[in-house]
Structure 1
Amino acid sequence: MRTLARLSAVGASTAILATALMTPAQAAGTSWAACPAGSGVDPRQECATLQVPMDYRKPGGPTISLAVSRIKTAKPASRRGVLLLIPGGPGSPGLNRPSVQVKKLPQDVLDRYDIIGFDPRGVGQSSPVSCDLATGDLSVTKLKPYPDADGGIADNLAWSRRIAEACARNGGPLIRHISTRNEARDIDSIRQALGEKKISYWGVSYGTYAGAVYATMFPQRTDRVILDSNDDPDPRRVARRWLANYTVGVEDRFPDFAAWAATRDGEYGLGTDPAQVRRTFLDLAAELDRNPLPWPGANPEELNGNLLRETMLNALYSDANFPMLATLMHAALTAGELPPSNTPPAAAMQNTAATAGATMCNDVEWPGSTSGYERQVANSRSAHPLTAGMPVNAGPCQFWPFKPAEPPVRVTSRGPANVLLIQNLRDPSTPYSGALKMRQAFGQRARMVAVDSGGHGVYLANGNACGDRTVTSFLTTGNLPTRDERC
């Protein structure tokens, strides 16, 4: 553990050196212009492109582009600084998030901050990366590694090896330099280019881990930090832990859907009580394992048991999705016409798949034992049938050809007390139990607001006035709650 701590310190020092080598003239030269017109882009949103090192250990070497956006405060006299929006994923774009969030953020926050967005390295309008995967390999039931209907993982292993080889062959040099440590360094480059001594930010989902890594590597450069829907920062497992936590999160959250559907049995016919709805789901998934239904437009183009499970997982992110899942289940049960699939186009998944895979594999080494994955999947299928072994299955990192360049960051309590965690109690993706590990890691640097709600995303996302008020108060006053709170 001491060796890991020393290496972490070396990595942080390297980052500070690299960002220091960006001269003030480079930072001051940032040129803002109107963003490309697009659906939902606020006319006030401006865009710029920054050049940052591809490899921060070689600041004089090749550079990549980072696409950055902002919506400036309309009240410069009240301005405190910037509020950076760190997207989730890993692999999600964030350039147009300011246009989304200015419609939701309270005026007191908009008065105090320029709202900043960015596409992380490898994604969107930043220097992109792609593994050039075949359409079939971008199926949502492969990108999340669901085992075969009988629990076998041979197909997962073949897919995983194929993806790792494709990324090594097609990903170019950038694929080796996509990691959470480098995202934190990119964030610090954005801070410097904006001319800010300190930066406030709001990270959601994977953005909480990226934000926690930044707060650990650059603690004195943080102002007010909001981490929303928190990942477990376990430095031994990192993304392996995030995937495994789906078993917990789905079990925490599914009862909300089951109770909702039970009160609407006359409409959907899924059961008159939550236990019956759960049994209906499990029986339907098993039947679709044996006899899939054609589902044009989906990927794969059939509703099999795993695609139902993946649709369920996504539906649990928001109560607003419950009718979609119930309608799909009702149609499958009654031989009715299936609703249109909302599967993203394969082309749109290339950036996300490559960036997510690279981040997960470059952050930490993964075990290589096939027999170990087989045992984990079998045990998980028995204990957590809703997710059918997916969260602990093998993936491309088992065969990733590159070793992590640096050890994972160990989040600690060293730094200013300026971190507010906000967390739903029933989050299907980043469960409360994992968020408590983030809270523990930060120690007295942080406070947590736990919200008695379900779904993924908390601040301004589910109508909890108590939680929203606490976050807004922190952003506008800087005062952390005196103790952890429950809303």
Structure 2
Amino acid sequence: MRTRHARHGAAVAALSLALCAPAHLPAHAAGPAGPAPRDPLGGTAAEAAGAALAAQRAAATAAAGGSGGLDFRGCPDAERLPAPVRCATLRVPLDYARPDGPQISLTVSRVPATRARGADRQGALVHNPGGPGASGMQFPLVAGLAGWERIAAAYDLVGYAPRGVGRSAPLSCQDPAARTKGPTPEPADPSPADKRQRVEAARAYAHGCARRAGAALPYYTTLNNARDLHVLRAALGEEKLTFLGSSYGTYLGAVYATLHPGRVRRMVLDSAVDPDPRRVWYRNNLDQAPGFERRWYDFRAWVARHHGTYRLGATPAAVQASYERVRDAVARTPAGGAVGTGELRAAYLQAAYYDDVWPDRAAALAAFLRGDPAELTAQAAPDPAVAAAAENATAVYTAVLCNDASWPADFATWDRDNTELARTAPFETWANAFLNLPCAYWPVRERQRPVAVGAQPERLPRTLVVAAERDGATPYPGALELQRRLGAGSSLVTETGSGSHGVVGGRNDCVDRHVERYLLTGSTPGWRVRCAPHPEPAPVSLDDRAAGARRALLPPVV
């Protein structure tokens, strides 16, 4: 399930390595030596005990140090985080079954509450932006964005890079340069030969993960991410966790709440993953195909309504025909020598995630069909400057999902299920299947069992789930299932008629009022409430875009 993280609404627009196994890691083969006694909520009893011990030690250090147990200083240049953001590192066990064994370092960022003292200060708000594979290090920058003033006054805003991400024990599965060699041919209807080629590529990718990560590979899991979060909470000096999770971060938050219900203070879970263990993760990925198809239709319908601006067609079908003309053209001659059918599909998948890219994507199609490929090349060509970060994100995404659960090991199952889906949802079905196919050949002997979210013996405090009704990446039924599992104290805020992935943070005033009120007071709006959709983006003509580019050359007004 690629719950992409390059963007997260207006509020976190500031957000979003060839590596051998580190020398301090044990040399034993990947995977535990044999079955161990299991904790009924997930993982083994030894891992649960190790997580408790690591958190106790972090809390003791925090109490003794008086500064949260984390030594926050100016951020390294590599993080590109200006003052007042400060950074620290958190040591956690690689393997929680061995809390005194090899340790890894996670990077953490923080901006202190602007109301630093007094009764109105409420502690730390920790954010996970999803992926898995996304870094939350830039989250504290939202303190300077409109609409966050009251939250930033009450809370320290804390971001972090989960294990494997960025500088947090970084994971790699292939040479990052391989991602920018393009163009990548990607047939809309793969032939048997195409499928055989992708199977071999998936095997090679999985083996690359094992070769580069070595003995560390089995330890990139949601359960370990939740244990790391437990230690981070303690190191911050917080008795209970206040958490904002987006996309995959909602699943992480739900797993944490199941494992540590007594340590939850408040949780906002935005764009919810379906936590049903039967759907983690193979079926969740199948569920994305019709969701993305709906959002691809929404984009085409919007373009059709603005036919006078873009001249791409007055109906969704006509816009699809324009897109296919572009796809056929780049299949013959890649745009700018770099954008083939794979790059084109990836760029337009972003339109199924975020409606704020609709004007740019429509303008690029229009310009290409007028004979100018520059816009399309600029938007869709791989960027060598971010190749290492993109490779790292994909590696972590793959490792976590493959380690978290069992996947079908025979390609015949994948072929049957995705062939059926592609008949009605062709836009993203096969690309998503091939992205996840390394899990069929994953070289870890024992996978995790998905946590039974909601099975905790204690009742949770009030939680807030937020979802867009037409979200393709995390389809709306997942929000209903998550709320059901979180229990009677949970509330669901739905943005109706909209489908942008990531609702919280400056896009919808109705949603944000409920989120702010909950974070500041703990009050939820009721079992289920509905908010009208945020306004659709305005079309931008090619002439307007040219004028905007000229204006961008002027010095900023300060």
Provide TM-score, normalisation by structure 1.
0.90
Residue 309 (1) aligns with residue 345 (2): yes
Give the Cα separation in 1 of the matches to 2:316 and 2:441. Answer: 41
Structure 2 match to 1:8: 42
Structure 2 match to 1:361: 402
Alignment of 1:414-429 (within 5 A): 414=456, 415-429=459-473
Structure 2 match to 1:327: 363
Structure 1 residues 24, 435: closer, same or farther in 2, change over 3 A? closer
Structure 1 residues 226, 324: closer, same or farther in 2, change over 3 A? same
- Which amino acid in 2 is paired with 1:434? G
Farther-moved stretch of structure 1 (183-192 vs 239-248) = 239-248
Structure 1 residues 265, 405: closer, same or farther in 2, change over 3 A? closer
Conservation of the 8 A alpha-carbon contact between 2:38 and 2:44: no
Alignment of 1:39-188 (within 5 A): 41-75=81-115, 76-77=117-118, 78-133=120-175, 135-136=177-178, 149-150=190-191, 152-188=194-230
- Which amino acid in 2 is paired with 1:8? G
Structure 2 match to 1:291: 332
Structure 2 match to 1:470: 514
Residue 250 (1) aligns with residue 283 (2): no
CA displacement at 1:404 relative to structure 2? 4.1
Give the Cα separation in 2 of the matches to 1:259 and 1:383. Answer: 17
- Which amino acid in 1 is paired with 2:303? A
Structure 1 residues 344, 430: closer, same or farther in 2, change over 3 A? farther
Render the CA deviation track for 1:454-484: whole Å, top value 9, x for unaligned: 311101142x211111111101110122221
CA displacement at 1:448 relative to structure 2? 0.6
Give the Cα separation in 2 of the matches to 1:424 and 1:404. Answer: 36
Identify the match of residue 209 of structure 1 among 231, 235, 251: 251
Render the CA deviation track for 1:69-127: whole Å, top value 9, x for unaligned: 11111212121111001121111111121113542453221222111110111111222
- Which amino acid in 1 is paired with 2:502? G
Conservation of the 8 A alpha-carbon contact between 2:162 and 2:168: yes
CA displacement at 1:67 relative to structure 2? 0.8
Structure 1 match to 2:546: none
Structure 1 residues 388, 197: closer, same or farther in 2, change over 3 A? closer
CA displacement at 1:4 relative to structure 2? 8.7
- Which amino acid in 1 is paired with 2:513? R
CA displacement at 1:323 relative to structure 2? 1.9
Give the Cα separation in 2 of the matches to 1:53 and 1:366. Answer: 27
Partner-residue secondary structure (3-state), 2:40? helix
Q: What is the root-mean-square deviation of aligned Cα atoms in Å?
A: 2.7
Farther-moved stretch of structure 1 (244-253 vs 171-180) = 244-253
Conservation of the 8 A alpha-carbon contact between 2:41 and 2:258: no
Structure 1 residues 61, 9: closer, same or farther in 2, change over 3 A? closer
Residue 348 (1) aligns with residue 389 (2): yes
Conservation of the 8 A alpha-carbon contact between 2:176 and 2:391: no
Structure 1 residues 133, 436: closer, same or farther in 2, change over 3 A? farther
CA displacement at 1:212 relative to structure 2? 1.0
Render the CA deviation track for 1:263-307: whole Å, top value 9, x for unaligned: 32233221112343234335654x2585353334xxxx2321x43
Give the Cα separation in 2 of the matches to 1:94 and 1:282. Answer: 36
Partner-residue secondary structure (3-state), 2:487? helix
Structure 1 match to 2:438: 396
- Which amino acid in 1 is paired with 2:52? L
Farther-moved stretch of structure 1 (321-330 vs 383-392) = 383-392
Give the Cα separation in 2 of the matches to 1:145 and 1:443. Answer: 44
CA displacement at 1:129 relative to structure 2? 1.8
Conservation of the 8 A alpha-carbon contact between 1:80 and 1:113: yes
CA displacement at 1:9 relative to structure 2? 7.4
CA displacement at 1:38 relative to structure 2? 6.9
Give the Cα separation in 1 of the matches to 2:209 and 2:40. Answer: 31
CA displacement at 1:140 relative to structure 2? 9.5
Structure 1 residues 331, 308: closer, same or farther in 2, change over 3 A? same
Farther-moved stretch of structure 1 (132-141 vs 256-265) = 132-141
- Which amino acid in 1 is paired with 2:215? P
Q: Gapped runs of 5+ residues in structure 1?
A: none
Give the Cα separation in 2 of the matches to 1:102 and 1:146. Answer: 44
Identify the match of residue 440 of structure 1 among 471, 475, 484: 484
Partner-residue secondary structure (3-state), 1:31? coil
Give the Cα separation in 1 of the matches to 2:227 and 2:180. Answer: 29
Residue 386 (1) aligns with residue 427 (2): yes
Conservation of the 8 A alpha-carbon contact between 1:138 and 1:349: no
Conservation of the 8 A alpha-carbon contact between 2:242 and 2:264: yes
Structure 2 match to 1:485: 529
Residue 455 (1) aligns with residue 495 (2): no
Give the Cα separation in 2 of the matches to 1:251 and 1:388. Answer: 9
CA displacement at 1:43 relative to structure 2? 1.1
Give the Cα separation in 2 of the matches to 1:290 and 1:114. Answer: 50
Conservation of the 8 A alpha-carbon contact between 1:147 and 1:388: no
Partner-residue secondary structure (3-state), 1:131? coil
CA displacement at 1:213 relative to structure 2? 0.9
Identify the match of residue 26 of structure 1 among 45, 61, 67: 61
Partner-residue secondary structure (3-state), 1:426? coil
Give the Cα separation in 2 of the matches to 1:110 and 1:363. Answer: 34
Structure 1 residues 293, 59: closer, same or farther in 2, change over 3 A? same
Give the Cα separation in 1 of the matches to 2:409 and 2:86. Answer: 46
Conservation of the 8 A alpha-carbon contact between 1:270 and 1:280: yes
CA displacement at 1:252 relative to structure 2? 2.7
Render the CA deviation track for 1:359-398: whole Å, top value 9, x for unaligned: 0111011111111112122212211122253334451111
Q: Gapped runs of 5+ residues in structure 2?
A: 1-36, 532-558
Partner-residue secondary structure (3-state), 2:374? coil
Identity of aligned residues (%): 34
Render the CA deviation track for 1:192-225: whole Å, top value 9, x for unaligned: 1111100101001111111111111111111110
Structure 1 residues 64, 34: closer, same or farther in 2, change over 3 A? same
Conservation of the 8 A alpha-carbon contact between 2:250 and 2:270: yes
Identify the match of residue 320 of structure 2 among 278, 298, 310: 278
- How many residue pairs end up in the alignment? 477
Structure 1 residues 9, 35: closer, same or farther in 2, change over 3 A? closer
Structure 1 match to 2:29: none
Structure 1 residues 434, 333: closer, same or farther in 2, change over 3 A? farther
Partner-residue secondary structure (3-state), 1:47? strand
Structure 1 match to 2:354: 318
Structure 1 match to 2:450: 408
Partner-residue secondary structure (3-state), 1:454? coil
